[in-house]
Amino acid sequence: MLWDVAVIGGGMSGLVSAIEVKRNYPEKSVVVFEQLEKVGKKILATGNGRCNLDNMTARENDYNNPSFVSFALNKFTSQSNLVFWESLGLLTVSDSEGRVYPRSNSAASVLDLLRFETENLGIEIIFEKVEKLKKEKVFLINNHQAKNVIMSCGGCSSPSQGSDGSGFDLLGKMGHTITKLSPSLVQITTDTKFVKTLKGVRVKGRLTLKEKEKILGISEGEILFADYGLSGIATMDLSRYLVKAKNPENTKIYLDMANDLTEKEILSYLFARQKNNPSLECDNLLSGILPKAVGKVILKKLNIFPGEVIGNLTKNDFENIVKTLRNFDFKVTGTKGFNFSQVTSGGVDLREVDEKTLMSKKINGLYLAGEILDIDSRCGGFNLHWAVSSARLAAELKG
């Protein structure tokens, strides 16, 4: 059979683009090729099972290549994506930071409604890994044929959910350039001398990634200590900047655990504690502003004996405590890698794709959507926003 449109990859961007093609062109036959035993496996894992499917504040500057995403984002805004979701029957809610979730609070609802609509529209799903793709007069896809192809195979992140990087191999063989691929939105491994004892403890703060003296990036939010290093949303966001490092082993993370306070405020807090309770053991000095375990680690780093009473601490001790609290440094050793990362930094070189149609400039009739392109963003619904908006643009088949 010669299909009008073959979508390769049944993840978020593949399912949305298949639905949109069929809605735009009801007469066209549409097939989705998915290598796993079911479509949309990754969708179920997103947002800790809640699927943070969009962000109402998403703008071009939230992405690594603003000028490329600009057209798609202006045409398919978050607002318009919500209308798309509503058309499937999915009601959504958004929080104070613009993060959009299904009203049911369940990622399964998102996948169910996508599946119901593909069935409703008569979209065929073939569970088969695409291993051969070439263009002659038409596209040859394994033993199938199609007039147009939408590539939506994702990147290399979380390969257990299907995105094993095979889309890059297929496109590489067809002459596309694939930029450097690295795990992004991923936990960062560091020297563990101080973090080990803090496993499972969370703080809020600001992280700065530096290569020697050069700042590579800054993120704010929750930091979760782990026995291998740092996790939590602020860490995942910071991991995006590691790709900027010439030598990642020369990078350090500086954690400010009091970015909401001035140094003066922290110092006067410490002096007040000393005045009010001079016989209190140092162990408890920071208990009012940080988890106790973190306070203890700060003192350990400064070699202050935990059993010392705070009445014996000097102004110099307090200044050192403030410095450490605001600038706790961790030597970066790497990341947890693609198996744990949420997105892939790098992908199909954007210079080879028309940003107004998402059609390849090298192969007529080949469209690209979602993470397979060299586009990524931070946590908060921005990556699924791109998956959906780019899928809707590709589905116009306007090349």
Ligand X SMILES: Cc1cc2nc3c(=O)[nH]c(=O)nc-3n(C[C@H](O)[C@H](O)[C@H](O)COP(=O)(O)OP(=O)(O)OC[C@H]3O[C@@H](n4cnc5c(N)ncnc54)[C@H](O)[C@@H]3O)c2cc1C
Q: Which is nearer to ligand X, 78 or 274 (CB)?
A: 78
Q: Which is nearer to ligand X, 53 or 270 (CB)?
A: 53
Asked if 14 interacts with ligand X (CB under 6 A), we say yes
Asked if 102 interacts with ligand X (CB under 6 A), we say no
Asked if 244 interacts with ligand X (CB under 6 A), we say no
Q: Which is nearer to ligand X, 321 or 384 (CB)?
A: 384
Closest distance to ligand X from the beta carbon of 140 (Å): 14
6, 22, 149, 167: residue in contact with ligand X (rule CB under 6 A):
167
Which pairs from 360-365 meet CB under 8 Å and 24+ separation? 360/176, 362/174, 362/175, 362/176, 363/135, 363/174, 363/175, 364/135, 364/399, 365/135, 365/139, 365/147, 365/148, 365/149, 365/399
Q: Which is nearer to ligand X, 163 or 320 (CB)?
A: 163
Asked if 384 interacts with ligand X (CB under 6 A), we say yes
28, 35, 108, 277: residue in contact with ligand X (rule CB under 6 A):
35
Q: Which is nearer to ligand X, 231 or 251 (CB)?
A: 231
Q: Which is nearer to ligand X, 274 or 342 (CB)?
A: 342
180-239 residues near ligand X, rule: CB under 6 A: none
Only one of the segments 69-77, 149-157, 310-318, 321-329 lies at the binding site for ligand X (rule: CB under 6 A); that segment is 149-157
162, 183, 205, 229: residue in contact with ligand X (rule CB under 6 A):
162
34, 211, 256, 317: residue in contact with ligand X (rule CB under 6 A):
34
Closest distance to ligand X from the beta carbon of 343 (Å): 5
323-382 residues near ligand X, rule: CB under 6 A: 342-343, 370-371, 381-382
23, 28, 45, 135: residue in contact with ligand X (rule CB under 6 A):
45
5, 6, 22, 47: residue in contact with ligand X (rule CB under 6 A):
47
Asked if 153 interacts with ligand X (CB under 6 A), we say yes
Only one of the segments 4-12, 279-287, 302-310, 358-366 lies at the binding site for ligand X (rule: CB under 6 A); that segment is 4-12
Token pair in block for residue 237:
């966001």
Closest distance to ligand X from the beta carbon of 24 (Å): 19
Asked if 104 interacts with ligand X (CB under 6 A), we say no
Write the single-letter amino acid at 383.
N
Residues that bind ligand X (CB under 6 A): 8-14, 33-36, 41-42, 45-47, 51-52, 129-130, 152-154, 157-158, 162-163, 166-167, 342-343, 370-371, 381-384, 387
